[in-house]
Structure 1
Amino acid sequence: MTSRLDIVKAYFRRVDADDPSVTALFTEDVSFYFPKFGPASGKAALVEFGRRVRREVPELVHDIERFHYIVDDDHVVVEGTEGGRLRNGAAWPDGEISQGRFCSVFAFEDDLICRMHIYVDPDFGNADQARLKAWRA
């Protein structure tokens, strides 16, 4: 039997590889959340979410070896960093404002992910200058 932690690690490896088999790790009625995308449910919505992410972030890499994990019964929480290249060719994070930090919370039904909430600032390229100026003033 594969551990839930191994399943979460497989999720990140498949996302980084843009591997469509990532959906096999989820229940049919998976619920998920991502800022600016909002809450959604079902594998079709998950596929659409992935398509939109790849449109904006064609190169995505998670630093899986340096993740911090909390595993508790049917939940796995991941705190980590990610980076890549945006559609406009810009690399991120910039290491100054953009740090590439995120936290994801996974819930399981048996060996499948039934819930995934991703907490991240999706302004990877620091395009939201109005809020940057307000917070950094």
Structure 2
Amino acid sequence: MLSNMTMSDEHRKSVILDYFRAFDNGGVAPDGRHILELFSEDAQVYFPKWGIATGRTQIAELFADLSARLISITHDYAHFNWVFSGTDVVVCEGTSHGEHVDGAWCAGNPDWAAGYWCDVFEVRDWKIHRCFIYLDPDYAGQDCLRYPWLAKPI
């Protein structure tokens, strides 16, 4: 049984990749599982400007709130940077592009734009127990009142 098996870094990476692929595919992992099934019952997910969701019910609320704002998202898997700690903790840094209700975004276009992110995971027993997401949630770059340099021509 998988839950009794010691997980390697590659095993943890595969669980995390299933999470990203599910997020890019409307909440459905490559094997048909719902994204919430990738999380332990008491998992925690942090998202900027939302806070910490604890447990699958709150994580579902967080993901529903995000999905209401995102039209599409694609993570750029070929450019992920992985940091393995030798424990259950894995850090993944990467880029994404897609469309938000306020407009499209693509990491690097312009260079200050949304799409750069870094996530810290704890994965054990084939489940994500913690996922703290660090990114700029202003996907469309419209926070010009607080950050006036965003309004400058590119």
Question: What's the TM-score once normalised by structure 1's chain length?
Answer: 0.90
Instruction: For 2:41 and 2:71, locate their aligned partners in 1 and report how far apart those are by CA, in whole Å.
Output: 26
- Tell me, yes or no, if structure 1 residue 55 matches structure 2 residue 68: yes
For 1:118-129, list aligned pairs within 5 A: 118-129=133-144
Report the Cα distance in structure 2 between the residues aligned to 1:30 and 1:9, rounded to whole angstroms.
Answer: 17
CA deviations 1:55-95 (Å, max 9, x no partner) are 1112011101210001222011000001101114x210371
Deviation, 1:134, is 6.0
Provide the residue aligned with 1:14 in structure 2. Answer: 22
Letter in 2 for 1:7: V
Contact 1:31 1:116 in 2 (8 A): yes
> Does 2:103 align with 1:95?
no
Among 56, 75, 84, the alignment partner of 1:71 is 84
Alignment partner, residue 110 of structure 1: 125
Q: Aligned residues: percent identity? A: 32
Cα RMSD of the aligned pairs, angstroms, is: 2.0
Structure 1 stretches of 5 or more lacking a match? Answer: none
What does residue 26 of structure 1 align with? 39
Deviations 1:22-41 (A, max 9, x none): 11111001112110001120
Please say which structure displays the higher CA radius of gyration: 2
Unaligned residue ranges in structure 2 (runs of 5+): 29-33
> TM-score when scaled to structure 2?
0.81
Distance 1:79 1:28, change over 3 A: same
Equivalence for 1:130: 145
In 2, are the aligned partners of 1:63 and 1:82 still within 8 Å (CA)?
A: yes
CA apart distance, 1:136: 8.6
